[in-house]
Amino acid sequence: MLFPPTLLNRLRETRHLVVLTGAGVSQESGIPTFRDALTGLWARFDAEQLATPEAFLADPALVWGWYEWRRGQVLRCQPNAGHRTIAELARRVPRLTLITQNVDGLHERAGSPAVLALHGSLHRPHCADCGQAHPLPDAPSALPDGGACLPPPRCGACGGLVRPGVVWFGESLPVEVWQAAQSAAGACDLLLSVGTSSLVSPAAELPVMAADQGALVVQINPAVTALNAVAQINLRGTAARILPELLAQAWPDDDAMPAPPAQEAPCC
Ligand code: OAD
């Protein structure tokens, strides 16, 4: 794909780039998205039974077992060329703010520092009562596809139930993370939205904020989404294919991408 010169110039000259990612950026690592028909997690599982505070109160073992299955799944997957290109972009531009809706930790494993994780992390559970962090072993229990009932551990400080470290439907985003994301969207000159359906608020508001203050908003997605009407440039394709090509065309004289780590597997 040949990218528009406006985009390549803006990328080379940007002073503050915001990259906003969703589940699509991890799809080529083998991690299912949420809303893709048939394969999406919310096509196979009921979000109301698994991703709300009420669900956890009603059946902690069902919810904990499902999130532990997901944690095991993402730990077996590797970052892909999309994650790695975003980490590389941070070395090319004066300032990059990476905001993700993902809870899989793959951006961090690809080498992106200081990720603003709007929806928390599968890897940082905490006590549902007192909030104390609860470290987990790197290797979760082996669980069948879709998980199995598994009682959550108890908090070492107060004995309360430990819950997954993700933001559930009906809960607020972590305040400082959201404030940092808003201020980046309000100050950037280029925002790349990668692999998100742009259906979940407040994350979906960030590209609109960026566009309102004059930033160029660019979307990378194989499908048409709610963002198509807002983004000035819509690049149809997958993250692991488009992002490295974009980097190579913006900086054609450089070795565009570091080689993937030797142990990288295409999917888990
Ligand atoms: P969705 O599942 O809603 O959307 C995934 C998007 O990725 C879709 O628009 C796909 O077309 C696109 N996509 C699929 N494969 C891709 C690829 N290889 N490269 C690029 N794009 C691809 O996921 P999110 O938008 O991330 O919230 O969902 C937002 C939130 O809804 C999630 O963080 C989660 C969910 O409920 C919580 O868990 C709180």
- For every residue of 83-146, DSSP letters joined together read HHHHHHHHHHSS-EEEEE---S-HHHHTT--S-EETTB-TT--EETTT--B----SSPPP--TT
Query: Is pLDDT larger for residue 259 or for residue 106?
Result: 106
Tell whether the model's pLDDT for residue 262 goes beyond 80. no
Distance 26 CA to ligand 1 centre (A): 9
Q: How far apart are CA 93 and CA 144, in angstroms?
A: 43
Tell whether the model's pLDDT for residue 267 goes beyond 80. no
Measured from CB, residues less than 6 Å from any atom of ligand 1 are 22-24, 27-28, 33-36, 40, 51, 101, 119, 166-167, 195-197, 199-200, 221-223, 225, 238-239
Tell whether the model's pLDDT for residue 22 goes beyond 80. yes
* Most informative mutation of 66, 83, 99, 200 for ligand 1 (most atoms within 8 A of CB): 200
Tell whether the model's pLDDT for residue 42 goes beyond 90. no
Digit-coded pLDDT (tens) for 220-250? 999 999 999 999 999 999 999 999 999 999 9
Tell whether the model's pLDDT for residue 264 goes beyond 70. no
Predicted confidence at residue 256, as pLDDT, reads: 59
Digit-coded pLDDT (tens) for 46-60? 888 899 999 999 999
55's enclosing H/E stretch is helix 53-58
User: pLDDT band at residue 268, thresholds of 50, 70 and 90?
Assistant: very low
User: pLDDT band at residue 202, thresholds of 50, 70 and 90?
Assistant: very high
Nearest CA among 144, 147, 143, 126 for reference residue 135: 126
Write the CA distances from 226 to 196, 201, 208, 219, 234, integer angstroms.
Answer: 9, 12, 11, 11, 11
Q: Exposed, middle or buried by CB within 10 Å (0-12, 13-18, 19+), for 130?
A: exposed
Catalytic sites, residue numbers: 119
Beta strands in the chain, from DSSP E residues, in sequence order:
17-21, 96-100, 116-117, 126-127, 162-163, 190-194, 216-221, 233-236
Digit-coded pLDDT (tens) for 126-149? 999 999 999 988 777 788 888 889
For the whole prediction, is pTM greater than 0.85? yes
56 three-state secondary structure: helix
The label of the residue with tokens 């990059």 reads 96
- What are the beta bridge partners of residue 163? 126
Tell whether the model's pLDDT for residue 118 goes beyond 70. yes
Nearest CA among 114, 164, 111, 106 for reference residue 134: 164
Nearest CA among 202, 196, 169, 213 for reference residue 20: 196
Tell whether the model's pLDDT for residue 265 goes beyond 50. no
Contact partners, residue 66, CB within 8 Å, separation at least 6: 45, 50, 146, 147
Q: How far apart are CA 161 and CA 126, in angstroms?
A: 9
Write the CA distances from 68 to 158, 203, 265, 266, integer angstroms.
Answer: 22, 25, 21, 22
* Average confidence (pLDDT) over 144-164: 94
CB 181 within 8 A of CB 8: no
> How is residue 74 written in tokens?
């993402």
